[in-house]
Chains A and B, each alone.
Chain A
Amino acid sequence: MAGQIECSRRTVLRFAWSGMVAVGALSVKPLVDYLTSKEDQPRTSLVAYEKSLVEKTDWQHVPNSRVWVMRDDQGIAALVATCTHLGCEVTYHPERKQWLCPCHGSIYDTDGRPVEGPAPKALPRAAVERKADGSLIINTEKQVGLDARL
């Protein structure tokens, strides 16, 4: 026969408290992981442009993105319209042939080179690929030079 276990109410309550504290401490990391997870947000660097852009054209905005595409004599180029100063979205003004940043007044020329304001670098260009059906896929993660064309 086992001896009787001494177990006062205080012991039981203390045991329960430490159990709760332990569970609380152990669930901090899972909770932070869960709450900060961005897995369910669509996160693709690929932007699709439905038109095939056969004719020469000035910068065209790709809907629901920051990407603009154009075609000149050399071919198709894509530009990401994020200001190189602090990341605001810049817009192309075709009548001025310039990119304007609404935040701090940076101005870029039509190729995206900085002309005025605090912007330190040219607007980034992204790689363009053509799919089988003729539409374009722009990979915003893949930066290319100013002269790169498709």
Chain B
Amino acid sequence: MKDNFVNHLRPRFISDRALSVYYTFCLGGLSFLAFLMLGITGILLMFHYQPGTSSGFSSVLTIGSVIPYGSVIRNLHYWSAQLMVVTVNLHMVRVVWTHSYKPPKQLNWLVGVGLLVLVLVLDFTGYLLIGSQESGAAATVAANLLKQIPGLGTALAQIALGEPTALSGSTLIVYVWHCVALPLAAFWLQLYHFWRIRRDGGVRPL
């Protein structure tokens, strides 16, 4: 059964042209690699990070200064996130460049757009969790933007951000979105994204 499952992960054949690095530059793969890295370092950071408008920033400082190897892990997390935003955007540019959004891949393009939004929101919530004054300003702007939506706005801001102060964007609610809900959604959507590539005929010039 194990052999069966592992063998099903691989396609029956791959065309030579699909293996060309210069066609995709492996930007999606790099993004996924960054995502895995973010997952691993993120779980490690959760062991020492304490969300909250008063504790967030100081625990980030503690991780970065006194916890052994904490600054390595935090920097891996931070730079993987920066890398992922860059590679995801380049990946999108590549897909447009090679016309890979056209039928039969139109659904996967939409999935990709969803993933792009998820990655950007993850990046933003990560920025809020640093808990610095800048994050407080960013959270305030985001909350005020959401509150502009008539009717639902106030509730939406509460659900998305909790009650950040102008001095720190780190709240328990942002923490749960960033560490549990959004990564899980992004992970399953990515698996679907990859499966869809095979389903739509694999990577190949149309």
Contacts and interface: CB of A to CB of B under 8 A. Distances in A.
SS of A interface (majority): helix
Nearest to A30: B69
B44 interface: yes
B190 interface: no
A80 B11 CA distance: 68
A37 B62 CA distance: 11
A34 B62 contact: no
B178 to A, nearest CB: 20
A40 B69 contact: no
Interface in A20-41: 30-31, 33-35, 37, 39-40
B55 to A, nearest CB: 10
B66 interface: yes
Interface residues of B, number: 14
Contacts of B67: 34, 37, 39-40
Contacts of A30: 68-69, 72
Contacts of B72: 30
Nearest to B47: A35
Contacts of B68: 30, 33-34, 37, 39
A35 B63 CA distance: 11
B56 interface: no
A40 B59 CA distance: 7
B99 interface: no
Given A40-B48, A40-B66, A34 B59 contact: no
B70 interface: yes
A39 B67 CA distance: 6
Contacts of A37: 48, 66-68, 70
A33 B70 CA distance: 10
B66 A34 contact: no
Which of B66, B70, B72 gathers the greatest number of chain A CB atoms within 10 Å?
B70
A30 B68 CA distance: 7
23 contacts: A30-B68, A30-B72, A31-B69, A33-B69, A34-B44, A34-B47, A34-B67, A34-B70, A34-B73, A35-B47, A37-B67, A37-B68, A37-B70, A39-B62, A39-B66, A39-B67, A39-B68, A40-B48, A40-B50, A40-B59, A40-B62, A40-B63, A40-B66
Top 4 A-B residue pairs of the complex, sorted by shortest distance between their CB atoms: A33-B68, A30-B69, A39-B66, A40-B62
Interface of B: 44, 47-48, 50, 59, 62-63, 66-70, 72-73
Interface of A: 30-31, 33-35, 37, 39-40
Given A31-B69, A37-B66, A40-B66, 12 more contacts: A31-B44, A33-B68, A33-B69, A34-B48, A34-B68, A34-B69, A34-B70, A37-B67, A37-B68, A39-B68, A40-B48, A40-B63
